[in-house]
Amino acid sequence: MKIKTHDKSGGLGAGPVYFTAISTILGAILFLRFGYATGTLGFWGAILIVLLGHLITIPTALAISEIATNTRVEGGGEYFIISRSFGLKIGSTIGLTLYLSQAISVAFYIIAFTESFDALYTWFYETFDIEFPRRVISLVALAAMAYIILKRGTGSGIRTLYVIVAIMVVSLIFFFVGKPLGADEGITIGGNFGLFNNDKFFVIFAICFPAFTGMTAGVGLSGDLKDPGKSIPVGTMAGTVTGLLVYMLVVWKLSVSASGNDLLADQLIMSRIALWGSVVIPLGLAASTFSSAISSAMVAPRTLQALASDKSFPLRKINLFFARGRGANREPYNASLLTFVIAVVFVAMGSVDMVAEIISMFFLITYGSLCLISFLNHFGSPPSYRPRFKSKWFFSLGGFLLSVWVMFMINPLYTIVAYLTIIVIYLFVESSNKEQKGLVNIFKGSLFQLNRRLQVFMQKSSSDIEDEWRPAAICISPYTLDREKILDLMTWISYRHGFGTYFHYIEGYYSRQTHLESKELLAQLINSLRERGSTLYIDTLISPSYTSAVAQAIQTPSISGMENNMAIFEYDKNNPQELERILDNINLVRAGDFDICIFGSSATATRYRSGIHVWIRNTDEKNTNLMILLGYIITAHPDWHRSHIKIFNICPPGQKDAVKRELEERIAAGRLPITLANIEIIPLDENHTAASVITRYSAHAGLTIIGFREEIVRRDPLDFFGEFSEIGDVLFVNASQTRAI
C-alpha cells in the first residue's frame, strides 16, 4: 500500500492520516500498560483485549472509509461525518463529546509522557532526597507542544510526527530483538483462561482501549487533505492494520520474555527486555506519547472549529471566536487555545488510568455512532449513498452493538452518566437550533425500508393471518376542516387495535394548482393531528366526482400491510341530504366486501362518561359481533378511559332470558371487559318502535352504535336514518360477514 505524504498541488495526502493514526495507536498504553495487562490476564487474555478492541475499531475504520468515499469530508473529521449523516443537532451533541475526549487525550498523553523520565525521578530522589514534581515536566512539555502548534501550525506538527514515528519504530525494533529476562523465570502463556469471570478484564480493557482509538485521529485532518475520499480510507485502514499486528506481536514478546510477577511489578518492563532498553524504551515512550499528544492537539481544535462553523453554540460571538482561523489554511488558533486550557486542567488533576477510562467512554459513544450511521445507510439504501469503498452492514451493526455492550461492561454508572450527558447536550443544542434536522430524521430511510419489508411480508403471509381480524378502515370526506368528530372517530379506531386512513376529498381535476393546494392543506392537517397525538394516517385525494374518489380510495393499499376491510362515511345529522351521496355509493363499496359504517355526527359535544351504547336487534345477526368489537376497540383510546360499554338487546316478548343468556355467553367467549350489569334486555311490545326505545335510552350517550341491513338501503334509507335524529352521535354498522369476537 503506497502512502503519499503530500499531494502535488500542496494539500496533505494519505501519509499524514497514516502517521497521525499510527503515532496515536502506538502510544502510552503500549509502553506503560500492556505489560500489566499481559501479566494479569495472561497471553490469551491480553490477545482477547487486542481482538475485542479491534472488533470495535475495525468496523469503525471501515465505516469511516465508506462514508468518506461517499461524500466530500470537510473540516472536523468524525464530527463532519456524524453531523452530515445524523443532522447538526445530533452531530453537535456527539461532536461536543468527541471534542472533549480529544482535548482530554492531550492531557492523557502528556501525563504518560512524564513516565518516560522515571530514571530522572529516581536519580533526583537518590541524590537530593527530594521527590521531583512530575507536573513540572508535564506542564513544560505541554507548553512546548502548544508553541509548536500555535506558532508553527499543522505543517510543523506533521514534520515533527515523522521524526517521532521514526524514533518509535527504532525503539520497537530494539524491543523485539531483545532477549528474555531469564529462562528460569518461565513463560506466562495461558496464565489465565477464566477471562470473563475475571473482574479485572473490563477494568484493564477500559485502560487499554485508548491505545486503539488512534486509528481515527487522522480523520480530524480532513479539512487539510487534498482528497479526503482517498486519503482517509488508505491512511485509516493502513494505521488500523499496522496497530493490530504490532500489538499482537508485543503481547507475544512480553509473554515469552518475562514472568507474570515481573510484568506486574514494573510498568516499564519493556526497558528490561529491549536491547539497550534503558535508553531506547524511555525514548520510544517519550516519542510515542508526545507524538500522540501532538496528534490529538491538531485534531481536537479542528473538531471545535467545525462545530463553531456550523453555529452549534447558542451565542453568535462564541461561534465566531472558535470558527475563526489564521492563514490560508485557517489554522484553528482560538480553538487550540481552549484545547490547551482543558489539557492543563486535566494534567494538573488526572492520572493515566482515570483519564483513560473517561476517554474510553466517549470514544466508544463516537465509534458506536459512526458504525450506526454506516448500518443505517446500508439498511436504508438511499440512492445518494454510493461509496467507492464498501463495507458490510453486519460489520457496522456488530461494531455498534459491541460499543454499547462494552461500555456497560466497563462501568454501568459511567455509561449511564455518559448517555445522560449526551441527552442534556442534545436538549441544549436543540433549544438553540430548532430549525435543524434532529432525531426525527435519523432513522427515516431505515424506517421506509422496514415498512416496505413488513408490508411485503404481511401481503405474502395474509393467508396465515386472516382469522386475526382487526379493522383497517378508510374514510373519505370533503368536510375535514368543518368537522372534527369524524377525525376523532378514525383516531379512536386506529389508536391501538386497528388502522385508519383518512382522505380529505378535493373535488376537481388533477392539475398543478390543485396538487399544490392539496399539499398545503395536507401539511395543515398533519400539524393538527400531531397536536392531538393521533395515530391516524391522513392524505388528500383529488377527483372530479365523489364516486370516482370513493372508487380510488377503496382500492388504495392499507398502510398496515393488510387489505382495507372497512369503509366509513360521515354526514351531519342537521343536513340529512348529505346521506344521498353516501347511499349512492354503498353498492360500489359493498362490491369489495367491505364492512360499511355510516357516522352521523351531531352538534353536541361528546359525552365520554356517558359511555358507548351498542344496540342489538334480532335482525342484526351478521352485525352483532362487529358492533361489540367496535365498541371495545374505541374504548381503548384514552378519551374513553373513564367510560364503559353498555349493550342493549331488543327482543320479542317472552325471549328475554334466552337472549340474555346467549349474549352473556358471547361476551364471555370473547373475553370482553363488559360487566353483566351493563347488559340490558328490552322486550319490544307492539306499542313501541325500536327507534323510539333507542332514543329514550341513548339520548345522552357518548356514542350510539346501531346495525342496519342491506334491505334498508334499498327500501327507505332516509326514513330509517332520520328516526335517530334526536340522539347524539350515531355509528351505523353493516358487516359484510359475521366477525369472530
The domain that holds 234 is classified in CATH as: 1.20.1740.10
Cβ partners under 8 Å of residue 260, min gap 6: 39, 40, 42, 188, 191
Quote the pLDDT of residue 232.
76
Tell me what percent of the chain is helix, strand and coil, each rounded to the nearest 5.
Answer: 65, 10, 30
Cell numbers describing residue 494:
386506529
Determine the Cα–Cα distance for residues 613 and 646; give it in Å rounded to an integer. Answer: 5
CA 111 distance to own-chain centroid = 36
Q: Is residue 492 predicted with pLDDT exceeding 60? A: yes
Quote the pLDDT of residue 463.
55
Quote the pLDDT of residue 569.
95
Q: Same domain for 546 and 624?
A: no
What percentage of the chain has pLDDT greater than the value 90?
Answer: 21
Long-range pairs for 452-457: beta carbons < 8 A, 24 or more residues apart: 454/561, 455/557, 455/561, 456/561, 457/561
Q: Is 652 helix (H, G, I), strand (E, B) or coil?
A: coil
Task: Place 659 in a pLDDT band, splitting at 50, 70 and 90.
Answer: confident
Q: Same domain for 543 and 405?
A: no
Report which residue type is found at 717.
P
Cell numbers describing residue 153:
501550525
Structural domain contains residue 292 = yes
Q: Is residue 10 predicted with pLDDT exceeding 50? A: no
Structural domain contains residue 65 = yes
Determine the Cα–Cα distance for residues 62 and 43; give it in Å rounded to an integer. Answer: 28
Task: Place 190 in a pLDDT band, splitting at 50, 70 and 90.
Answer: very low
Neighbours of 306 (CB within 10 A): 29
Q: Same domain for 494 and 631?
A: no
Structural domain contains residue 580 = no
Residue with cell 357518548: 702
Q: Are 717 and 729 in contact (CB under 8 A)?
A: no
Quote the pLDDT of residue 186.
44
Quote the pLDDT of residue 730.
96
Q: Are 406 and 414 in contact (CB under 8 A)?
A: no
Higher-pLDDT residue of 489, 34 = 489
Q: Give the model confidence (pLDDT) of 156-168 as tens digits.
A: 556 666 777 788 8
Quote the pLDDT of residue 402.
92
Q: Same domain for 197 and 157?
A: yes
Neighbours of 519 (CB within 10 A): 10
Neighbours of 535 (CB within 10 A): 16
* Domain C-terminal end among 441, 474, 504: 441
CA 357 distance to own-chain centroid = 25
Cell numbers describing residue 551:
372508487
Quote the pLDDT of residue 433.
65
* Domain C-terminal end among 441, 474, 494: 441
Q: Are 251 and 38 in contact (CB under 8 A)?
A: yes
Q: Give the model confidence (pLDDT) of 28-57 as tens digits.
A: 788 888 888 888 888 888 899 999 989 998
Q: Same domain for 505 and 606?
A: no
Determine the Cα–Cα distance for residues 159 and 162; give it in Å rounded to an integer. Answer: 5
Q: Same domain for 518 and 633?
A: no
Determine the Cα–Cα distance for residues 296 and 335; give it in Å rounded to an integer. Answer: 13
Structural domain contains residue 458 = no
Helix 277-309, helix 118-128: angle, nearest 10: 120
Quote the pLDDT of residue 359.
76
Task: Place 383 in a pLDDT band, splitting at 50, 70 and 90.
Answer: low
How large is the average pLDDT for residues 357-385?
A: 78
Q: Is 52 helix (H, G, I), strand (E, B) or coil?
A: helix
Task: Place 272 in a pLDDT band, splitting at 50, 70 and 90.
Answer: confident
Q: Give the model confidence (pLDDT) of 56-103 as tens digits.
A: 988 988 887 777 676 666 656 677 777 776 677 777 887 888 888 888
Q: Is residue 489 predicted with pLDDT exceeding 70? A: yes
Q: Same domain for 433 and 550?
A: no
Q: Is residue 375 predicted with pLDDT exceeding 70? A: yes
DSSP secondary-structure letter at 616? E
Instruction: Provide DSSP, 203-270.
Output: HHHHHHGGGTGGGGGGGGGGGGBS-HHHHHHHHHHHHHHHHHHHHHHHHHHHHHHS-HHHHHH-TTTH
Task: Place 460 in a pLDDT band, splitting at 50, 70 and 90.
Answer: low
Quote the pLDDT of residue 261.
81
Structural domain contains residue 687 = yes
Q: Same domain for 204 and 271?
A: yes
Q: Is residue 678 predicted with pLDDT exceeding 50? A: yes
Q: State the sign of the Cα–Cα–Cα–Cα dihedral 346, 352, 357, 360.
A: positive
Burial 152-172 (b: 16+ CB within 10 A, else e): ebbeebbebbeebbebbeebb
Cα 586 to Cα 129, 555, 597: the distances in Å are 103, 15, 10
Structural domain contains residue 92 = yes
- What H or E segment, with its residue span, contains residue 401? helix 393-410
Q: Are 321 and 334 in contact (CB under 8 A)?
A: yes
CA 327 distance to own-chain centroid = 39
Q: Where are the alpha helices (DSSP H) in 148-223?
A: 153-176, 201-208
| Range ranked top by mean pLDDT from 125-134, 411-420, 593-602, 673-682 | 593-602
Q: Are 87 and 438 in contact (CB under 8 A)?
A: yes
Rg, Å, the chain Cα set: 36
Determine the Cα–Cα distance for residues 194 and 192; give it in Å rounded to an integer. Answer: 6
Q: Where are the alpha helices (DSSP H) in 476-567?
A: 485-493, 512-532, 546-554
How large is the average pLDDT for residues 253-276?
A: 85
Beta-strand runs (E) in 470-553 = 472-477, 499-507, 537-543
Cα 324 to Cα 89, 318, 472, 486: the distances in Å are 21, 10, 57, 57
- Please, what is the average pLDDT of the chain? 81
CA 60 distance to own-chain centroid = 17
Q: Same domain for 518 and 372?
A: no
Higher-pLDDT residue of 449, 571 = 571
Report which residue type is found at 643.
S
Q: Is residue 351 predicted with pLDDT exceeding 70? A: no
What's the CATH number where 676 sits? 3.40.50.620
Q: Same domain for 223 and 268?
A: yes
> Is 0.85 topped by the overall pTM?
no
- What H or E segment, with its residue span, contains residue 287? helix 277-309
Cα 149 to Cα 72, 114, 146, 714: the distances in Å are 26, 20, 5, 89
Q: Same domain for 501 and 409?
A: no
Cβ partners under 8 Å of residue 553, min gap 6: 474, 476, 503, 541, 567
Residue with cell 513516565: 115
Q: Per mean pLDDT, which range of 4-8, 503-507, 524-528, 716-720 is the poorest?
A: 4-8
Higher-pLDDT residue of 24, 335 = 335
Q: 448 exposed, middle or buried (CB, 10 Å; 0-12, 13-18, 19+)?
A: middle
Higher-pLDDT residue of 371, 450 = 371
Q: Is residue 702 predicted with pLDDT exceeding 90? A: yes
Structural domain contains residue 395 = yes
CA 234 distance to own-chain centroid = 29
Q: Is residue 188 predicted with pLDDT exceeding 50? A: no
Determine the Cα–Cα distance for residues 734 and 741; give it in Å rounded to an integer. Answer: 16
How large is the average pLDDT for residues 193-197?
A: 41
Q: Is residue 192 predicted with pLDDT exceeding 60? A: no
Split into its structural domains, the chain has a count of 3
Q: Are 112 and 27 in contact (CB under 8 A)?
A: yes
Q: Per mean pLDDT, which range of 71-75, 408-412, 554-558 is the poorest?
A: 71-75
Q: Per mean pLDDT, which range of 296-300, 438-442, 661-665 is the poorest?
A: 438-442
End-to-end CA distance of the chain: 69
CA nearest neighbour of 50 among 192, 200, 168, 209: 209
Structural domain contains residue 681 = yes
Q: Per mean pLDDT, which range of 11-20, 545-554, 631-640 is the poorest?
A: 11-20
Cell numbers describing residue 658:
334466552
Quote the pLDDT of residue 582.
92
Q: Domain range spanning residue 524?
A: 464-570
Cell numbers describing residue 516:
399544490
Higher-pLDDT residue of 379, 484 = 484
Q: Same domain for 284 and 386?
A: yes
Task: Place 398 in a pLDDT band, splitting at 50, 70 and 90.
Answer: very high
Cell numbers describing residue 672:
370482553
* Domain C-terminal end among 441, 475, 507: 441
